[in-house]
Amino acid sequence: MRKIFIILFALLVSCNQTSNEDILTEASTEATTEASTEVETTQTSVLTQDETTTTLVEVSQLDPFRDRTYTIIKEESRASYLAPKQFLNSGLETVEGITREVEGSFDVSLDSCDSSDSCITISNLYIKVDISALKSSSVIRDQAMNNQWLQSALFPIAIFTIDEETIPNKNFDSKIEDVFVGKLTIREIELDTPFSITAYIQDEKLFVTGFTEIDTTWFGFDAPTKFNAWEVLNPIGISVSLVAEEK
């Protein structure tokens, strides 16, 4: 009888251990699955935030027109600087500062011409940007830009103008890619400056993206630097993304 009791007791202990191991195994599996799900969700979220959306532009042929006046929509436009920042014994990063304080207007004509199937004329272009409103990822950097390096607290307005420029356009296309040369004024210093421009008309609006590079010394100030830590390298990129509507 004693032997039977011992055997039954051993079987109960063995079953209990197996049951506990199964529970621990299931709990571990569930925890691993949940953790895996959380990681996948986070990665998906990050990928979504970092996605660059691409707008498909359908190029169409437009009817000729003259002297349409377009006014920039501030809420849908922006200007920014792109500054290469070199750290001592380290890598290079690009610092970006952005503002939506962009205003202006310009006239556009699309007509036949001798040099091409058609030509686009830009005239009376005046774009004003409040560069004291440029914001980057660092408040300290922005304050230094305003008060020390760019001195945008003293010279808050950058201006780009074109009196008139005509460029060839293929068969009255609704999209153009070319270089426009205008006068860029920063810190009250005016220089002829080329902008690489892509522009198109869609849904009753005119969309413009432009890019150029400048050397800070052209406009009377040195590129920012911190001794034995980092330095900003010339040239500095200037980028604009404008949306304008006909008035």
Domain end: 28, 51, 74, which one?
51
pLDDT digit string (tens) for 174-189?
999 999 999 999 999 9
Same domain, 33 and 143: no
Q: Is 98 helix (H, G, I), strand (E, B) or coil?
A: strand
Q: What is the pLDDT of residue 55?
A: 61
Look up residue 189 and give its two tokens. Answer: 């210093």
Q: Dump strand ranges (E) for 17-136.
A: 65-72, 78-87, 92-99, 102-111, 118-130
> What element of type H or E holds 115?
none
- Looking at the structure, tell me whether residues 75 and 195 fall in a common domain: yes
Name the amino acid, one letter, at 214: I
* Distance, CA of 69 to CA of 221 (rounded, Å): 36
Task: Write the Ramachandran bin of 228: left for phi over 0, alpha for psi from -120 to 50, otherwise beta.
Answer: left
In this structure, of 13-22, 45-54, 224-233, the range with the lowest mean pLDDT score is: 45-54
Q: Where among 51, 74, 93 does a domain terminate? A: 51
Return the structure tokens found at 171. Answer: 């068969």
What's the 3-state SS for 181-192? Answer: EEEEEECCEEEE
Say whether pLDDT at 134 is over 60.
Answer: yes
Residue 53, pLDDT > 90, answer no
Q: Please say whether the beta carbons of 84 and 214 come within 8 A.
A: no
Q: Are residues 9 and 127 in the same domain?
A: no
Average pLDDT over residues 120-143: 97
CA gap 108, 63 in Å, rounded: 13
Find the mean pLDDT for residues 91-120. 95
pLDDT for 163 beyond 60: yes
The C-alpha atoms of residue 247 and residue 232 are separated, in whole angstroms, by: 41
Are 88 and 131 in a shared domain?
yes
Q: Is 193 helix (H, G, I), strand (E, B) or coil?
A: strand
Greatest alpha-carbon span in the chain: 117
What does the pLDDT look like over 15-34, one tens digit per residue?
A: 444 444 443 444 444 444 44
71 and 31 both lie in a single domain: no
Range of the domain at 147: 65-246
Tally of domains within the chain: 2
Residue 89 gets which letter from DSSP? T
Note whether residue 192 is domain-resident.
yes
Q: Are residues 115 and 156 in the same domain?
A: yes
What backbone torsions phi and psi does residue 132 show, to the nearest 5 degrees? -75, -15
